[in-house]
Amino acid sequence: MPKARPASKDGLRPSKANIFAILRGHLGQRTVLGVAIPVLSAHIDAARGGRRFAGLTEKQIELAFCELNSKFVKSEYHSTYLHRGLARFLETLENRYKIREQLLDGASVDDLDQLRSDLLESLRTAYEKRQAVIKKLVAACSLPAERIRERHSLVDSYLSQLTGNHGEMFEVVSFAVLREYFRTFGFSLQRFSTTHANDGGMDFVGGEAIYQVTTDESIQKLRRDLAKAPGTKRVLVRPTVTPAVSELCEGDVLETIELKDLLNHFISWLLARDTRSNQARHLQRVLEIALAEFRRENRAETAVGPSSEVV
């Protein structure tokens, strides 16, 4: 008889989908957790009060979402977030939403309470990390104009950070680099979103093409990206390009930009121009664009620094 797999630290077998595994896969993501935490909290309160949890209405979730996020960042609620929850961990009955029963199988109230604490801590940590990034960018932007190498080192290090908050750093800084590079040739890239993305996830548009940027290198994510806006020309911005990716990148895909392209071509060109003039004009603008984007994602940040909007 085969041996049973050991239970996870949450008391549920790791081979079985459960609310612990699902929500811990979204640590730090305020758009997901802003919906999940209110529903989870209401479930815990009902269980501790010996009541059957009937679920929350969308209005109740919206109010709780706004209250929760006001502690970390001033995000606005959008129904898209609830729809994503339905696809991942929520179910609905008579216009009320609750966690799917099968995902809670075997979960104790104490375990759920610990999960809630972990999720809240992840939001707090993500907020503090973004605050630290903003502070560092403000300091770098305030350096004397001839301090080119320090600016380049910061851009290089930030662009190479592919982990954490689903690649927010890569997405923001790659946009900043490409926007400044193309600006020097008279072209414009603008941040653009047709859906409400998670925590800095962003696409941008230039000329006739959409630039789709992600650190998720799975073929499934690529297929989802290619399914967006069919018939639209696009440029893919990714850490690497594998043969499997190349096979799918035909037709509407004009080009793919890798991390090594950003480092060795786009940033190198901007650095060379700054070095020639001994003035960090281009790299300064890259930092200012990144700063504006992080402040956009962190609107509770109120420190006054270099220009918050670059045109």
> How many CA atoms within 13 Å lie on the side-chain side of 187?
12
Question: How big is the CA angle at 145 (ends 142 and 146), to the nearest 5 degrees?
Answer: 130
Its pTM stands at 0.77
Which one-letter DSSP state was computed for residue 13? -
Q: Residue 60, Cα to own-chain centre: how many angstroms? A: 25
Q: Highest mean pLDDT: which of 110-124, 209-223, 296-310? A: 110-124
Mean pLDDT of all residues in 67-96: 88
Question: What is the CATH topology of the domain spanning 145-297?
Answer: Trna Endonuclease; Chain: A, domain 1 (3.40.1350)
Distance (Å, rounded) from C-alpha 179 to C-alpha 196? 21
Mean pLDDT of all residues in 154-170: 80
Q: Are 296 and 146 in contact (CB under 8 A)?
A: no
Amino acid letter for position 15: S
Is pLDDT at 104 greater than 50 in this prediction? yes
Locate the domains of the chain by residue range.
19-123, 145-297
Is pLDDT at 6 greater than 60 in this prediction? no
Among the ranges given (266-280, 282-296, 297-311), the one the predictor scored with the smallest mean pLDDT: 297-311
Distance (Å, rounded) from C-alpha 36 to C-alpha 41? 9
